[in-house]
Amino acid sequence: MEIVRTIESYRELYTHLQHPIGLVPTLGGVHEGHLSLVDAAKKDCETIVSWLFLNPKQFGPNEDLNIYPAEEKEDVSLLEQRGVNILLIPTTTEIYPSDFDSVIKLGKITKLLEGSRRPGHFDGVTTIVSKMFNIIQPDRAYFGEKDAQQLRVIQKMVKDLNFPIEIVSSPTIRDSEGLALSSRNKYLSVAERHDATFLYQGLLKAKVCYELGERNSDIVRNIVIQELKKSSLISIDYVSLSDHQTLEEISGEISSPTLLSLAVHIGKTHLIDNVLLQ
Ligand code: PAF
């Protein structure tokens, strides 16, 4: 694996790369979820480029930027072992020079769900992802379904702004107890880690109920809420049933493919998860 740290050195390499180029981006804190994206990219791309950059612009002032569990050495070794060909690790000043003054801002979809709790978060994501797309120039870019809203925001941006890139999504990777893998799981204490399994259990119970024919959105939402309430460590940010593309909240009957998603705080840790009802 070749590691490059400047945009210029990536550009020099780029002219010699075999297409299709698949991009697997990460903030760091690499885990099996990211590595499953590398596996997916390897299936249909000649060159796998990964991007390792802890993007400050997608963290709010009271969020976990300063403690985010990104260990460069460990991340590099995991990505290399899994078969990444080129890894770009830019510095913050390379990406955001002192005169940097642009924002890529999408509309309504970025204000819902996570956007309503984390103002400005998706502006930070769309700005860095646009820059990353322009720098790396991949043919395909791989994102996990665990960050369902991020995936849809990026799909919308690619469509609205005509990026010539195919966005490929990969299923959420879970541990043996169903907890969705996330870099933030490292923050959880043993007790919090235990109770974090209620997230997926709640989603699964609701999904089973839906599959048995329940279409009342209040009832389906409530199944998840009741499961989360079993833990005194969990504080619910939202449990949402929304249109799976626009993410607009559904009330009444569920009649089309629907994203059942949730966000909670367990202690100080913000966790999200989702399943698709269809
Ligand atoms: O999902 C992430 O890890 C980040 O939001 C991304 C896409 C790498 C942008 O910084």
Does the Cβ of 26 fall within 6 Å of ligand 1?
yes
What kind of fold does domain 183-277 have according to CATH? Pantoate--beta-alanine Ligase; Chain: A,domain 2 (3.30.1300)
Look at residue 149 and give its three-state secondary structure. helix
Domain map (residue ranges) of the chain: 2-170, 183-277
Q: What are phi and psi of 108, to 5 degrees?
A: -50, -40
The token duo for 267 is 């202690």
- The CATH superfamily holding the domain 2-170 is HUPs (3.40.50.620)
Q: Report, as an integer, the average pLDDT of 23-30.
A: 98
The 10 Å CB-count burial string (b at 16+, else e) for 162-199 is: ebebebbbbebbbeeebbbbbbbbebbeeebbebbbbb
Q: Is residue 70 predicted with pLDDT exceeding 90? A: no
Does the Cβ of 52 fall within 6 Å of ligand 1?
no
* Ligand 1 atom 8: residue of nearest CA: 26
Hey, which of 23, 24, 26 would you mutate to test ligand 1's pocket, going by the most ligand atoms within 8 Å of its Cβ? 26
Using a cut of 0.75, tell me whether the model's pTM lies above it.
yes
pLDDT tens-place string over residues 31-46? 999 999 999 999 999 9
The CB density around residue 44, as the number of other CB atoms within 10 Å, is 13
Distance 25 CA to ligand 1 centre (A): 6
Does the Cβ of 37 fall within 6 Å of ligand 1?
no
Q: Report, as an integer, the average pLDDT of 5-15.
A: 98
Helix orientation angle between 217-228 and 197-211, rounded to the nearest 10 degrees = 150
Hey, which of 128, 153, 170, 184 would you mutate to test ligand 1's pocket, going by the most ligand atoms within 8 Å of its Cβ? 128
pLDDT tens-place string over residues 106-142? 999 999 999 999 999 999 999 999 999 999 999 999 9
pLDDT tens-place string over residues 85-99? 999 999 999 999 999
Instruction: Give me the pLDDT at residue 83, please.
Output: 98
* Contact call for residues 138 and 49 (beta carbons, < 8 A): yes
Please, what is the average pLDDT of the chain? 98
pLDDT tens-place string over residues 152-201? 999 999 999 999 999 999 999 999 999 999 999 999 999 999 999 999 99
